[in-house]
């Protein structure tokens, strides 16, 4: 499987300079999810959001995020269990009419949200549920292919909201 169909909007331009985008806000601690409406308002992200998560993570953290953001945003949910060109295209289609995207979960979900937000030129919030990878903050995403894993340029998150509290809070 080739990654050619995944990256469609931004073409590489030869330049001797390097532009690096980093997260603007990194919020870490117990109860951080409760601050997501204020984070979104502070960053002026808009009033409609696509939440991308896995099935289990949606039950553990995603439903809380959805209910918190429903007070200030129109919310849509997309369950993405794997990272494939089809899953990425589905996220792009679902997010096309949203102002921003949120990826809640581990590497596959975060990378799916990151690539989709890059391709549709929307800001992205990283809500990691596993700190075991650097994808929560990077501008790269890993996509499995028939030839191995491809590392693609993607959208770095505007903020990272990493809640270290128990899942039941």
pLDDT for 133 equals 64
Question: Which of 31, 34, 28, 29 is closest to 67 using CA atoms?
Answer: 34
Query: Quick check: 146 and 4 in contact, CB under 8 A?
Result: no
DSSP state of 44: T
* Structural domain for 141, as ranges: 25-163
Does residue 13 sit within a domain?
no
Dihedral angle over CA of 126, 38, 48, 24, nearest 10: -40
Query: Quick check: 8 and 121 in contact, CB under 8 A?
Result: no
Report how many domains make up the chain. 1
- Which of 9-18, 22-31, 44-53, 61-70 comes out lowest in average pLDDT? 9-18
Does residue 168 sit within a domain?
no
Does residue 6 sit within a domain?
no
Does residue 65 sit within a domain?
yes
Does residue 78 sit within a domain?
yes
pLDDT for 72 equals 93
CATH of the domain at 77: 3.40.50.1970
DSSP state of 61: I
Does residue 43 sit within a domain?
yes
Does residue 29 sit within a domain?
yes
């Amino acid at each position: 499987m080739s990654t050619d169909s995944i990256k469609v909007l931004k073409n590489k331009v030869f330049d001797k300079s390097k532009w690096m985008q980093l997260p603007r806000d990194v919020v870490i601690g117990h109860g951080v999810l409760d601050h997501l409406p204020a984070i979104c308002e502070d960053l002026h992200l808009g009033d409609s959001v696509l939440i991308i998560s896995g099935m289990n993570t949606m039950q553990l953290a995603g439903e809380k995020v959805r209910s918190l953001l429903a007070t200030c945003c129109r919310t849509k949910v997309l369950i993405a269990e794997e990272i494939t060109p089809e899953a990425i295209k589905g996220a792009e289609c679902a997010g096309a009419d949203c102002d921003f995207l949120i990826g809640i979960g581990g590497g596959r979900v975060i990378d799916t949200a990151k690539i989709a937000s890059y391709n549709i030129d929307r800001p992205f919030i990283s809500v990691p549920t596993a700190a075991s990878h650097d994808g929560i903050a990077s501008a790269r995403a890993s996509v499995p292919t028939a030839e191995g894993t491809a590392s693609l340029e993607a959208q770095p998150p505007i903020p990272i909201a990493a809640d270290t509290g128990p899942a039941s809070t």
